[in-house]
Amino acid sequence: MSDVKIVEQAGTGLFRTVFQFEVLSQERLGDCTLERLEYLTREGSCSGAFGETEEQEVSRETMRGLLERQGSDPSFLLCECEKPQWDQEEGVPQCRECYGR
């Protein structure tokens, strides 16, 4: 993964949230999916608890880099309008001006 410099900027409406989740087990877990962690800590042989949560409002450039680092198309959350007007359609915020372009 490439390194993205996190630039905080108030008023963008773009948020980066990092959850810390501690798992206690009798074996190494290695890489796990969220679904696997949920199963292991709810029904399996592990104990799990949320720790601290970090939330930052970030600049558009930071969000673009973070989305690319995750393999997502930046247009997924970023529109090109100067003042986007967001609608909530099927639980997903979409800019009225940019959606469908």
In the predicted model, is pLDDT for residue 52 greater than 90?
Answer: yes
CA atoms within 13 A on the CB side of 87: 8
pTM above 0.85, yes or no: no
**Can you give the pLDDT at residue 76?**
72
Amino acid at the residue 11: G
10: amino acid identity, one letter? A
Mean of the pLDDT values across residues 30-40?
94
- pLDDT one-digit tens code per residue, 56-85: 999 989 999 999 999 998 887 887 665 555
Nearest 5°: the CA angle 40, 19, 43 is 15
Q: Is the pLDDT of residue 41 over 60?
A: yes
CA distances from 8 to 12, 16, 55, 57, 61 (A): 9, 9, 10, 6, 10
Q: What is the pLDDT of residue 79?
A: 73
